């Protein structure tokens, strides 16, 4: 049912100006591990994301950088979003004399908007100075012009990055090299995908998994997949019985994911909840009971009945 993951080398040059260094943290959610990218044709490199903090990663990054050229150094680390597998390696890197010889490495990340929560950000080291990314901000290094594209949806602080010279995109966790992505706000997530698609990217460099050719097509497929799910969900809620009694996200999952192992039902129900919340905002469905949208309460949310509103 699930395709095997392609093998990715721990270190590879992907283009004239992009190198991928794996975070050495393979897993169920991280696929082959988190991709971290080095950018720039000269000695000065930008590092995009820095893994989850596996002890072996530091040595691996140092060796990879040296392999590109002996005088290479990192001037900036840009963190795509607050999930730990994208920033956990930060403290090790800052201590490394090889990576940060002048001790003036700058860290950049989009701030979590007021009133929002991003999982893992409560563990982010408070003593590390972080410069706030701004939407459309531009970073330059040799033959690299990198533009920040704020794309909340996967998380409230998520950014993708446009590489002007290649007309390509670093998509972090909103488009993956394998399977589909998770999101915490479907409306924002879809808007983000539309924005990325409007750039007509050639290649995508995802936060996990291999490089994706035909980037624009892939983004359209992600959009289509979500819209198809939305249609399926409304279809079920429109059925006679569901109109009267409503359906819970878990019941919807049991109908839509027949034959899938039970262990996938809860994560799938989470994505159905996100669909229902979007449909509610769009004025198509209503929750039969009050509920709070916090992940800790997922068991409760998935048992709340939802109904379709007759137009
Ligand atoms: Zn993430």
- C-alpha 6 – ligand 1 centre gap (Å): 20
Same domain, 301 and 167: no
- C-alpha 289 – ligand 1 centre gap (Å): 30
Examine residue 231 and state whether it is found in any structural domain, yes or no.
no
What is the torsion angle, in degrees rounded to the nearest 10, for the CA atoms of residue 259, residue 260, residue 265 and residue 271? Answer: -110
- C-alpha 25 – ligand 1 centre gap (Å): 14
Percentage of the chain beyond pLDDT 70 is 95
* Spatial distance between the Cα atoms of 294 and 55, rounded to a whole number of angstroms: 32
Same domain, 171 and 285: no
Across 201-212, b (16+ Cβ under 10 Å) vs e yields: bebbbbbbbbbb
Phi, psi of 161 (to 5 degrees): -140, 130
- C-alpha 209 – ligand 1 centre gap (Å): 13
Asked if 304 and 289 touch (Cβ cutoff 8 Å), the reply is: yes
CATH of the domain at 287: 1.10.10.10
Examine residue 76 and state whether it is found in any structural domain, yes or no.
yes
- C-alpha 88 – ligand 1 centre gap (Å): 12
Identify the band that residue 262 occupies on the pLDDT scale cut at 50, 70 and 90.
confident
- C-alpha 311 – ligand 1 centre gap (Å): 37
Examine residue 137 and state whether it is found in any structural domain, yes or no.
yes
For residue 294, what pLDDT is reported? Answer: 44
Same domain, 185 and 85: yes
Residue range 105-109: mean pLDDT, rounded? 97
pLDDT in tens, 169-217: 999 999 999 888 888 899 999 999 999 999 999 999 999 999 999 999 9
Same domain, 71 and 186: yes
- C-alpha 119 – ligand 1 centre gap (Å): 9
Examine residue 3 and state whether it is found in any structural domain, yes or no.
no
- C-alpha 154 – ligand 1 centre gap (Å): 7
- C-alpha 243 – ligand 1 centre gap (Å): 36
Identify the band that residue 267 occupies on the pLDDT scale cut at 50, 70 and 90.
confident
pLDDT in tens, 46-71: 999 999 999 999 999 999 999 999 99
Q: Total structural domains in the chain?
A: 2
Same domain, 247 and 206: no
Range of the structural domain that residue 245 is part of: 239-308
Same domain, 130 and 212: yes
Same domain, 89 and 163: yes
Strands across the sheet containing 18-22: 11-13, 18-22, 35-39, 44-48, 73-79, 106-109, 131-132
Examine residue 233 and state whether it is found in any structural domain, yes or no.
no
CA 105 to chain centre: 24
Query: Hey, what are 13's tokens?
Result: 């040059």
* Spatial distance between the Cα atoms of 248 and 239, rounded to a whole number of angstroms: 14
Asked if 67 and 9 touch (Cβ cutoff 8 Å), the reply is: no
Asked if 28 and 57 touch (Cβ cutoff 8 Å), the reply is: no
For residue 3, what pLDDT is reported? Answer: 64
Boundary-marking domain end, from 174, 192, 225: 225
Same domain, 123 and 205: yes
- C-alpha 89 – ligand 1 centre gap (Å): 15
């Amino acid at each position: 049912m699930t395709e095997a993951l392609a093998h990715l080398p721990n270190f590879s040059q992907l283009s004239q100006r992009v190198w991928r260094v794996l975070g050495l943290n393979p897993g169920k959610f991280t696929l082959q591990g988190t991709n971290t990218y080095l950018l720039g044709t000269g000695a000065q490199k930008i590092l995009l994301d820095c893994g989850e903090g596996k002890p072996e990663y530091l040595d691996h990054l140092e060796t990879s950088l040296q392999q590109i050229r002996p005088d290479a150094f990192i001037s900036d680390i840009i963190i795509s979003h607050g999930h730990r597998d994208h920033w956990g390696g930060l403290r090790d890197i800052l201590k490394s004399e090889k990576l940060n010889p002048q001790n003036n490495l700058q860290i950049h990340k989009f701030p979590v908007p007021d009133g929002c929560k991003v999982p893992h950000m409560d563990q982010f080291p408070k003593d590390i100075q972080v410069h706030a990314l701004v939407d459309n901000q531009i970073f330059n290094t040799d033959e690299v012009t990198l533009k920040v594209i704020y794309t909340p949806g996967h998380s409230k602080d998520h950014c993708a990055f446009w590489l002007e010279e290649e007309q390509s995109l670093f998509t972090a966790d909103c488009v993956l090299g394998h399977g589909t992505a998770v999101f915490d706000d479907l409306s924002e997530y879809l808007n983000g995908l539309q924005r990325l698609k409007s750039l007509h990217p050639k290649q995508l460099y995802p936060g996990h998994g291999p490089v994706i050719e035909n980037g624009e097509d892939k983004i359209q497929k992600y959009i289509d997949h979500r819209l198809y799910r939305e249609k399926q969900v409304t279809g079920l809620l429109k059925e006679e019985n569901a109109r009267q009694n409503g359906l819970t996200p878990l019941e919807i999952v049991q109908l839509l994911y027949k034959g899938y192992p039970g262990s996938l039902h809860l994560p799938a129900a989470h994505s159905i909840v996100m669909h229902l919340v979007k449909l509610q905002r769009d004025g198509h469905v209503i929750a039969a009971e009050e509920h709070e949208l916090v992940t800790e309460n997922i068991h409760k949310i998935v048992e709340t009945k939802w109904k379709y509103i007759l137009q």
